[in-house]
Amino acid sequence: MSAKKIAEMMAEQISRRTFLLRITGAAFGLVLGLVGLDTPSAKAWRQVACCNLQYDTDCPPGCECASGWAWTCCHNGQIWHCFECYSSECSQASNTYRACTSSALSVEVGPNVTCP
How would you label 79-99 residue by residue, b for 16+ Cβ within 10 Å and e otherwise?
Answer: bbbbbbbbebbbbbbeeeeee
Q: Tell me: the pLDDT tens digits for 67-100?
A: 888 899 999 999 998 989 988 889 999 999 999 8
SS3 content of the chain, % helix, strand, coil (to 5): 35, 35, 30
Q: Does pTM top 0.75 for this prediction?
A: no
Name 110's bridge partners: 68
pLDDT at 47: 92
Q: What is the pLDDT of residue 50?
A: 92
Q: How far apart are CA 50 and CA 80, in angstroms?
A: 7
Neighbours of 12 (CB within 10 A): 10
- pLDDT score, position 1: 66
Whether pLDDT at 49 is above 90 = yes
State which of 41-45, 83-87, 111-115 shows the largest mean pLDDT: 83-87
Domain segments of the chain: what residues? Answer: 1-38, 42-111
